[in-house]
Amino acid sequence: MKLILGLGITGLSVARFFFKNEISFRIADTRQEPPMLEVSKKEGLLNDAYFGDWNEHILTGISEVIISPGVAESEDIVIWMRKKNISIISDIELFGRYAMAPIIGITGSNGKSTVTQLLGEMAFADGKNAVICGNIGKPVMDSLSDEAELYVVELSSYQLDYTNKLSLLAGVITNITPDHLDRYSNFSDYISSKLSIYSYCKFQVINLNDDLLRDLSGHNFYAVESVDDRCDFSANRISDLYEVLHKGKFLLTSDKLKVVGRHNIENLLAALTLGHRFGLTLKAMIQAAVDFKGLEHRLEFVSTINDIDYYNDSKSTNAISSITAVNALFEKYNNLILIAGGISKKEDYSEFFKLINEKVNAVVLIGECSSDFSKQITAPHVEVVDSMKKAVSMATSMAEGGAVLLSPGCASFDMFSDFNERGDVFKRFVLEET
């Protein structure tokens, strides 16, 4: 019998697969009311289920465990399984047993979702029946399809930790920076988790811009500015633009793209390299890149209205991510108006304020922290308003052919249910400007 450990969206997807294929299974979760409990009841998936504190009897008769990525290695149930030599696998490994089309795996500390989505859209543009799935949102076990010609899968370090066997056509690590150190005992363990993806790849794709990756052996390489002869795809900075090249031959300049910033050039090169390795045409990939608006709420291009470009970066809920967004747009626009504010986090905002003072023409502040922030910002124009509607209107009045950027650097819960609602409200008022 199989044990599904954790009844979130991953566990639900595995249970559905087992039920459909008449594979006996048990579900266990420490939570009395896990997120997918009601859905599982309605679908008749709880014939053998246990909810509550871990108990070793849960493992009776179990030959293999499919573990949700949120369950840490240090938990008692995992320790008991290791002692009993019970096989522990991820949903990714299970998926790999049944997927009949090539799989491309994408991981990294930052940018992996963007590369996954962009590569999938490149495949669509080339007429391929591609499936985008994994950590990006749709569980892999819900994504199996007899018609699939390519699976583009985002992989988290947690998923990789519980994967022992997997066959990937190609894979990439976009970059590695300190993250999830509450889960890993040290940064080295986190690095090892990310690097494990390459052991499953027929072709390893390497980002030469990352200090932790550039010395690795691989099959395909890409880089921005620090180009060498190994690069399949590369980019050079020319004034305020980037030229994207394939084997030294010009493809396009960054002003043709809707996404902005050096980090998105790296993301583009990763997608191009992976797509080329699979066999996608350059023409289709370039068209998809030009059409790509980015992921929702992540420096997402919204629209151009009366020569003003609008960007929704509502997912930036801390100073570091908003700094990245401002720097990205500053490369492209001489007149940048920032909408920021909300519930400030317990972090140092001094670098964010310094950047605003140096590179932002005007800032419109909203939310709980607006009064405090206004005292620390000396940009030419600082306005405090009490609604997103007023913020969009005020920012638009000052943009003058430049760009309006919502990148709050703060949590949203003082005015909105979450960052998704905040971004949606921003976009609604932007489009009303027409």
Write out 226-268 in H/E/C secondary structure: CCCCCEEEEEEEECCEEEEEECCEEEEEHHHCCCCCHHHHHHH
Give percent above pLDDT 70 in the chain. Answer: 98
Q: How confident is the model at residue 60 (pLDDT cuts 50, 70, 90)?
A: very high
Which residues make Cβ contacts (< 8 Å) with residue 168, sequence separation at least 6? 103, 104, 105, 197, 200, 201, 202
CATH class of 93-291: alpha beta
CA distance 233 to 223: 7
Say what the pLDDT of residue 347 is: 76
CA distance 328 to 77: 45
SS3 376: coil
Query: Which whole number is the average pLDDT over 87-96?
Result: 97
- Flag the least confident range among 13-22, 46-55, 343-352: 343-352
Residue 182 has pLDDT above 70, yes or no: no
CA distance 236 to 230: 15
- Superfamily for 2-89? NAD(P)-binding Rossmann-like Domain (3.40.50.720)
CA distance 74 to 149: 38
CA distance 106 to 172: 5
Q: How confident is the model at residue 180 (pLDDT cuts 50, 70, 90)?
A: low
Residue 178 has pLDDT above 80, yes or no: no
Say what the pLDDT of residue 229 is: 84
CATH class of 300-432: alpha beta
- Flag the least confident range among 226-240, 263-277, 391-405: 226-240
Query: Which whole number is the average pLDDT over 334-359?
Result: 92
Residue 346 has pLDDT above 80, yes or no: no
Residue 112 has pLDDT above 80, yes or no: yes
Query: Which whole number is the average pLDDT over 268-279?
Result: 98
Please say whether the beta carbons of 276 and 285 come within 8 A.
yes
Give percent above pLDDT 90 in the chain. Answer: 81
- Flag the least confident range among 54-68, 316-330, 358-372, 401-415: 316-330
Strand partners, 236: 243
Please say whether the beta carbons of 293 and 191 come within 8 A.
no
Say what the pLDDT of residue 137 is: 77
- 305-344 per-position pLDDT tens digit: 999 999 999 988 888 889 989 999 998 899 999 999 999 8
Say what the pLDDT of residue 434 is: 55
Q: Which comes out higher in pLDDT, residue 168 or 331?
A: 168
Catalytically active residues are: 112, 135, 180
Domain layout of the chain by residue ranges: 2-89, 93-291, 300-432
Residue 395 has pLDDT above 70, yes or no: yes
Please say whether the beta carbons of 170 and 222 come within 8 A.
no
- 201-212 per-position pLDDT tens digit: 999 999 999 999
Say what the pLDDT of residue 51 is: 96
DSSP string for residues in 27-71: EEESSSS-TTHHHHHHTT--SSEEESS--GGGGTT-SEEEE-TTS
Residue 56 has pLDDT above 90, yes or no: yes
CA distance 335 to 359: 9
Locate 322 and state its tokens.
């908003």
Residue 181 has pLDDT above 70, yes or no: no
Say what the pLDDT of residue 10 is: 94
How much is the mean pLDDT over the chain?
Answer: 93
Q: Which comes out higher in pLDDT, residue 378 or 104?
A: 104
Domain pair 2-89 / 93-291, same fold: no
Within 10 A of 98 (CB to CB), how many other CB atoms are there? 11
